[in-house]
Amino acid sequence: MRILIYGAGVIGGKSMKNIMIRGVIFDLDGVLVHTDELHFRAWSCIAEELGIPFDRGANDRLRGVSRAESLERLLALKPEVRLGDKEKAALCERKNSLYRASLETLTAADIPPAVRAVLEILRKRKLRLAVGSSSRNARLILQRTELEQAFDAVTDGTMITASKPDPEVFLRAAALLGLEPDVCAVVEDAPAGILAAHRAGMYAIGLGACATGDGIRPDLLLSRLTELPALPALGGEGSPPSRTGIR
């Protein structure tokens, strides 16, 4: 696996001097906006109805994967709950209604100024910016938070045939940006997204401890999005982001 060693100037065995990322593809839920928490609350309601024990740790395994796959992972926590396809479809529908209701109060104020500032810095450096999300609600969220105009391209759950960890959503984003995968970096909070980025041949930057689950390791792990502009590969001058121990 390629490792980005911060400060040692190496990405994938090449000198960092020779690497310049030209496009950054951001996951949405849990990276740009706190909708990961709203997914958690909606799934918690469904889990309670089904009598399935569910907590934040269990929810972390649902990050990045599709709604239908999330339900499968939830049901796997209690194998004696067996449901047919129609029941599963109805539960997904219900979860989405709960989730959509919670999106109604989402506004531009839900995006921290620091997040907007990061996007602005990257844009000024002429990096191409995209969102690559598994969510079928991504457009709605981008509109409600007034983030849509910050990106050159958006790919979401309505545009793909396979969800993360499949690379489709990121490959489509790179194509819309007019870039080859190997000059793109992905910013992700989910192991499924890190795996998708690697399968796409892109650099995978994890955000937060959840990004390292399931034995999957990003090329670099950041604690906060505000650490991103310092990365030399993104045109930064390299004041160190907090080291979180990815080797």
Catalytic residues: 27, 29
| Contact residues for 214 (Cβ-Cβ < 8 A; gap 6+) | 61, 191
**Which residue's CB comes closest to Mg ion?**
30
Question: In what order do the strands lie in the sheet containing 10-11?
Answer: 4-5, 10-11, 14-15
By DSSP bridging, strand 10-11 and strand 14-15 are antiparallel
Stretch that binds ligand BG6, among 10-18, 118-126, 127-135, 215-223 (CB under 6 A): 127-135
Q: Tell me which of 22, 23, 27, 218 binds Mg ion, using CB under 5 A.
A: 27
Question: Is residue 127 within 8 Å of residue 104, measured between CB atoms?
Answer: no
Helix (H) or strand (E) holding 73: helix 67-75
Which parts of 39-138 are beta strand (E)? 128-132
Q: Which is nearer to Mg ion, 33 or 91 (CB)?
A: 33
Q: Which is nearer to ligand BG6, 19 or 159 (CB)?
A: 159
Where in 168-207 is the site for ligand BG6 (CB under 6 A)?
190
- Choose from ligand BG6, Mg ion, none: what does 133 bind? Cβ within 5-8 Å by kind: ligand BG6
CB 164, min distance to ligand BG6, A: 8
- Choose from ligand BG6, Mg ion, none: what does 62 bind? Cβ within 5-8 Å by kind: ligand BG6
Question: Is residue 95 within 8 Å of residue 67, measured between CB atoms?
Answer: yes
Q: Does 156 bind Mg ion (CB under 5 A)?
A: no
CA distance 190 to 213: 8
Where in 17-76 is the site for ligand BG6 (CB under 6 A)?
28-29, 39, 62-67, 70
| Contact residues for 10 (Cβ-Cβ < 8 A; gap 6+) | 3, 4, 16
Stretch that binds Mg ion, among 76-84, 89-97, 154-162, 188-196 (CB under 5 A): 188-196
CB 60, min distance to ligand BG6, A: 10
Q: Does 166 bind Mg ion (CB under 5 A)?
A: no
Q: Tell me the Ramachandran region of residue 217: left when phi exceeds 0, alpha when psi lies from -120 to 50, beta otherwise.
A: beta
Positions in the binding site for ligand BG6 (CB under 6 A): 28-29, 39, 62-67, 70, 96, 133-137, 157, 190
